[in-house]
Amino acid sequence: MTPANGTPVRVGVFGLLGSGNLGNDGSLEAVLGYLRAEHPEAEVDALCGGPEAVTARFGIPATRLHWYRGEYRTASRAGAIAGKGLGKLVDVFRTAAWVRRHDVVIVPGMGVLEATLPLRPWGFPYALFLLCASGRLLRTRVALVSVGAATIANRPTRALVRWSGRLAAYRSYRDAQSRDAMRAMGVDTRHDEVYPDLAFALPTPQASVPSDPSASPGPVCLGVMDFHGGNDDRARAEEIHRRYLDGTIRFVRTLVEEGRPVRLLTGDECDASVVAAILDAVDSPLVTAAEPSSLADLMKEMAAADTVVAIRYHNLICALKTGTPVLALCYAAKSDALMTEMGLGAYCHPAREVDADRLLQQFRALEKHSAELRQTLTERNLAAARQLKHQFDSLTAALFPATDQAHTVRKAP
């Protein structure tokens, strides 16, 4: 679809995309699906963390997010520190030049307004601020679509996030607490809406038939994470990681002793170290590891499982979307909110304080109520699909008014 002047709408997508995080790429996939269905003539490209991966997988042109290639490596030498500093200045002009070439820029989902994992203010928060400021200055509409947010204690990070939110032309959130967090940080959210995470708009693989209760128990999928706590946990990061890993290993070992097959799943490239640690500690052919390259791969694994236990937010979404009962290891309030929204609020366990015995009790309760939970998930997934349809309609009205008017006229009798 094109505006009245016949020029295709130029749409940019922005974020830590193509960098190995399956959830981020799944959010991009959902937005590209919307654009290709509703705005097929739009010219789309990306400013992102892994441009080569984005172009190879999604077939759109992509530009590197940061001028300095070592942006996310710790800088200790003078040359690296100088390179990072120069990169911050260069990125002001690079970002503005990229934004200028577009009519609309979409930030597809992701927790771009939170700091629930370790985060420095001059990394992604600064890049997001440059995007939103450039959009306001150059009159390019910037949309934060179904994003996650959380109240941030660090003052520089909070200021950058607050101003990014204020400068965006469109904001929607993936849960009510994200909207509340932005309001608490000084953003006027009176016209902002809440919709499900964009990953709920992705195609769902065919779920397997639940196991016969009288038959041998089926496989368990375990989603893992290289978890060291959040931004405020840096002083005890190794202690948190060790407790999480020890509790998870004990849980897996007990399942194996009961004859249960366990399938280890990741959500980011960095999670491979946790998979290796579990395989080394529990030497059994019953424990295997998948190598998913997308949320679709994760959903296929989970659809074939009896039960899922997972920590990463988008691993939880994949299980919920396939209708597979899931127990969440929660490291942030967003996971608790998601589970409550989907009717599984009773099956949450703190990731920072993994207690293998209590985790096993919750796991057995989850399996005991599997049938009714699958029915609940079927109903909640239908509701999420309806809400996301409304989200995309409102996005078209807000960002593509010319094409939306043409589409409405075309539909009229």
User: Token pair for residue 80?
Assistant: 């690296």
Give the residue carrying structure tokens 């639940």.
Answer: 210
Domain 10-194: give its CATH code.
3.40.50.2000
At 260 the three-state DSSP class reads coil
DSSP string over 39-99? -TT-EEEEEES-HHHHHHHH---EEES-SSTTTTSPP-SHHHHHHHHHHHHHHHHHHHHHH
How far are the Cα atoms of 34, 38, 198, 200, 253 from residue 389, in angstroms, in the given order? 10, 11, 11, 11, 43
How far are the Cα atoms of 26, 43, 132, 157 from residue 54, in angstroms, in the given order? 11, 15, 22, 27
CB neighbour list of residue 225: distance below 8 Å, 6 or more residues apart: 266, 267, 268, 271, 274, 311, 312, 331, 351
Rounded Cα gap, residues 380 and 316, in angstroms: 14
CATH 3.40.50.2000 assigned to domain 220-377? The reply is yes
Give the residue carrying structure tokens 């953003």.
Answer: 187
Helix (H) or strand (E) holding 142: strand 141-147
User: Token pair for residue 199?
Assistant: 């990953």
Rounded Cα gap, residues 61 and 59, in angstroms: 7
The phi, psi pair for 145, rounded to 5°, reads: -110, 115
Helix (H) or strand (E) holding 355: none
What is the sign of the dihedral through the CA atoms of 128, 133, 136 and 139? negative
Question: By the 8 A CB rule, do 27 and 109 touch?
Answer: yes
The confidence score (pLDDT) of residue 317 equals 97
Closest CA to 220 of 268, 184, 258: 258
The count of other CB atoms within 10 Å of the CB of residue 76 is 7
Rounded Cα gap, residues 332 and 181, in angstroms: 13
The count of other CB atoms within 10 Å of the CB of residue 73 is 10
Give the residue carrying structure tokens 């204690």.
Answer: 153
Question: By the 8 A CB rule, do 185 and 152 touch?
Answer: yes
- Start-end of CATH 3.40.50.2000 domains in the chain: 10-194, 220-377
The confidence score (pLDDT) of residue 71 equals 64
The confidence score (pLDDT) of residue 358 equals 97
User: Mean pLDDT per 10-residue run, the chain (413 residues)?
Assistant: 67 95 95 95 96 97 87 62 80 96 96 83 93 97 96 93 97 96 96 95 74 70 94 88 97 96 96 97 96 94 96 96 97 94 97 96 97 96 94 91 48 39
Rounded Cα gap, residues 368 and 372, in angstroms: 9
Helix (H) or strand (E) holding 265: strand 262-265
For the chain, the helix, strand and coil percentages under 3-state DSSP, each to the nearest 5:
50, 15, 35
Residue 224 DSSP one-character state: -
